[in-house]
Amino acid sequence: MDQLQDIRARIARSAEIAGRKPEAIELIAISKTHDAEAIEPLLAAGQRVFGENRVQEAEAKWPALRTAYPEVKLHLVGQLQSNKAEDAVALFDCIHSVDRPSLVAALGKAMEKAARKVPCFIQVNIGAEDQKGGCAIADVPALLASAREAGIPVVGLMCVPPAGIEAAPFFALLAKIAADNNADGGLDQLSMGMSDDFETAVLLGATQVRVGSALFGKRA
Ligand SMILES: *Cc1c(COP(=O)(O)O)cnc(C)c1O
């Protein structure tokens, strides 16, 4: 799988430049819209961490693949409706899109009911865009506090910067917001960087990069 080797090498090179260990960066292969046939080569090449943006699509695709590869970890990177919280908690190993109090409440309840604590990221609307998911920067402290109160293990912050302009300032801003809210510890992870900008994200401290099209080709 040439693309996978290429992406891994580029992550490693960026990590080295930044004085970081390549193992400190987790590559999440974003397999949304791609079927099992497209995913198989990545599994065969050793990739074990995948991301999807829709609960139903993931439910249709992954149970069978996971039977063959039980050690696969699945991340939810798309917006989550509160009425899908139980399904998401059952299926995913990590949720990147916690962005509002109603979802915090639903996820807290779902995790308690399932007796399963799923690590979560708080998604920040880093470019203050109307159409994007994520909480406002000013709301991060309160949302973080309520998530912790609800028993949700929040491990870090996630963002999708505005399209079409340089992402670096937004990645740096997310890192600063995380540092500013990390007095009590535990907010050490940064989910940022996609196909076009993951190297920049690694330079600026990403611990999770979410790469889709650079691995799978363009989505239909
Ligand atoms: C689709 C998606 C990605 C991957 O995007 P590419 O540009 O294809 O790498 C990453 N993060 C989120 C939240 C996505 O929805």
Residue 194: CATH number of its domain: 3.20.20.10
Q: Give pLDDT tens digits for 65-93.
A: 999 999 999 999 999 999 999 999 999 99
Give the model's pLDDT for residue 158.
98
Q: How far apart are CA 192 and CA 67, in angstroms?
A: 29
CB 53 less than 6 A from any atom of ligand 1: yes
| Residue minimizing CA distance to atom 13 of ligand 1 | 77
Going by C-beta distance under 8 Å and a sequence separation of 6 or more, which residues neighbour residue 135? 99, 100, 122, 123, 124, 125, 143
- Return the pLDDT at 184: 87
**Alpha carbon of 52 to ligand 1 centroid (Å):** 9
What is the residue with the minimal CA distance to atom 11 of ligand 1?
210
Domain that holds residue 59: 2-216
Residue 1: pLDDT band by 50, 70, 90 thresholds? confident
- Give me 197's structure tokens: 């900008």
Q: Which long-range contacts (CB under 8 A, 24 or more apart) does 8-14 make?
A: 10/198, 10/199, 11/198, 11/199, 11/202, 11/209, 13/199, 14/198, 14/199, 14/200, 14/202, 14/203
Give the pLDDT confidence of 97-140 residue by residue, as tens digits: 999 999 999 999 999 999 999 999 999 999 999 999 999 999 99
Please give the DSSP secondary-structure letter assigned to residue 150: T
Rounded to whole angstroms, the Cα distance separating 37 from 115 reads 33
The pLDDT of 204-213, averaged and rounded, is 98
Q: What's the mean pLDDT when you consider all of the chain?
A: 97
Distance 113 CA to ligand 1 centre (A): 30
Q: Which of 29, 25, 23 is CA-nearest to residue 202?
A: 25
Question: Angle at which helices 55-68 and 36-44 pack, to 10 degrees?
Answer: 50
Cα 139 to middle of ligand 1, angstroms? 24
Q: Ligand 1 centre from 58 Cα, in Å? A: 15
Ligand 1: does its nearest atom lie under 6 Å from the Cβ of 77? yes
What is the atom index within ligand 1 of the atom nearest the CA of 28?
10
- Per-residue confidence band for 219, with pLDDT thresholds at 50, 70 and 90: confident
What is the 178 CA–ligand 1 centroid distance (Å)?
21
Q: Could you read off the pLDDT of 134-178 as tens digits, one per residue?
A: 999 999 999 999 999 999 999 999 999 999 999 999 999 999 999
Instruction: Report the nearest atom of ligand 1 relative to the CA of 195.
Output: 9
Which of 3, 71, 50, 22 shows the shortest CA–CA distance to 207? 22
pLDDT at 58: 98
* CA atoms of 52 and 69, how far apart (whole Å): 17
The total number of structural domains that make up the chain? 1
- 198 membership: H or E segment, kind and range: helix 198-203
Cβ–ligand 1 distance for 181 under 6 Å, the answer: no
* pLDDT tens digits along 24-53: 999 999 999 999 999 999 999 999 999 999
